[in-house]
């Protein structure tokens, strides 16, 4: 696992966007796994700016979702499909044919989960998967004690998660679904490159446990320790709990430029 400490979220967004752009230069039809929420927005903004400036051609890129609410129609403005279309697909100038995600409106949710796992494999696998981390160490919607071998499946949202997400539903928690479809930890680990971005002091404890703590289902993000190409990008605040911060800074400073992230 590589840990990169950056000054702020904008610097993290630029660094990861350049890694994505470099991937697209090498593999124009790369499958990019995206996450929702406020943390990855600087990544998407920086990548869209590179596309607009013709620094990279994203016209053949493919986009896939990490998770989706259960029960919201695909056209609902707060479905994750709609969010990804607004924040990633449209700014990159792509069309919906380049996009894939689980069907949260399916009558048979279990079948939809299995179908999405198969679709990812049939697409050749995810080349780069973006991740965030919860204050409890979750990735995707794999809450603490999720199986480290789990596949795409339905999960029940905690009350706190529903409270946190109510801001996207006019503050009305009753509008927030109780369930989501999420890529499992085992599914996530099949991506060729995992990139986790964390910003803010509230994420410091979770980052420290995921990076320096023991591998544990109690901290789902610690599963990144098993991956051969995992990159954790953190701002100064999110890095404040790392005991080896000095080592991480030194190794990144000495890294050959051609190695990328």
- Catalogue the E-assigned strands of 132-213: 153-156, 179-182, 193-198
- Please identify which of the residues 136, 164, 190, 236 carries the catalytic annotation: 136
217-228 mean pLDDT: 98
**143 flagged as catalytic:** yes
Q: What is the pLDDT of residue 3?
A: 98
| Residue range 157-196, pLDDT digits in tens | 888 888 888 988 999 999 999 999 999 999 999 999 999 9
pLDDT at 74 over 80: no
Sign of torsion over alpha carbons 229, 69, 145, 36: positive
- Please identify which of the residues 14, 138, 193, 235 carries the catalytic annotation: 138
CB burial of residue 171 (10 Å; 0-12, 13-18, 19+): exposed
pTM to 2 decimals? 0.95
**67 flagged as catalytic:** yes
CB burial of residue 212 (10 Å; 0-12, 13-18, 19+): middle
- Please identify which of the residues 14, 68, 117, 143 carries the catalytic annotation: 143
Enumerate the β-bridge partners of residue 128: 32, 193
DSSP code per residue over 68-103: EESSS-TT-TTSHHHHHIIIIITTTT--GGGEE---
57-62 mean pLDDT: 97
144-150 mean pLDDT: 96
For residue 139, give the DSSP letter.
B
- Please identify which of the residues 18, 67, 127, 235 carries the catalytic annotation: 67
């Amino acid at each position: 696992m590589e840990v990169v400490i950056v000054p702020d979220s904008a610097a993290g967004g630029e660094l990861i966007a350049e890694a994505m752009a470099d991937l697209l230069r090498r593999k124009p039809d790369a499958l990019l796994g995206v996450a929702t929420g406020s943390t990855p927005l600087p990544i998407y903004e920086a990548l869209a700016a590179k596309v607009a400036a013709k620094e990279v051609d994203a016209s053949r890129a493919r986009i896939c979702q990490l998770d989706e609410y259960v029960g919201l129609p695909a056209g609902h403005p707060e479905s994750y499909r709609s969010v990804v279309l607004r924040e990633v697909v449209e700014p990159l100038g792509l069309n919906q044919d380049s996009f894939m995600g689980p069907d949260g409106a399916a009558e048979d949710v279990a079948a939809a989960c299995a179908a999405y796992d198969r679709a990812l494999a049939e697409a050749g696998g995810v080349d780069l998967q973006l991740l965030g981390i919860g204050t409890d160490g979750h990735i995707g919607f794999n809450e603490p004690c999720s199986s480290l071998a789990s596949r795409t499946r339905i999960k029940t949202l905690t009350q706190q998660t529903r409270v946190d997400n109510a801001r996207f539903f006019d503050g009305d928690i009753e509008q927030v679904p109780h369930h989501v479809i999420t890529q499992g930890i085992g599914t996530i680990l099949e991506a060729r490159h995992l990139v986790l971005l964390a910003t803010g002091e509230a994420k410091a404890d979770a980052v420290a446990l995921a990076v320096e703590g023991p591998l544990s289902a109690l901290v789902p993000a610690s599963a990144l320790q098993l991956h051969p190409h995992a990159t954790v990008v953190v701002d100064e605040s999110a890095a404040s709990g790392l005991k080896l911060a000095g080592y991480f800074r030194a190794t990144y400073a000495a890294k050959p430029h051609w190695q990328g992230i």
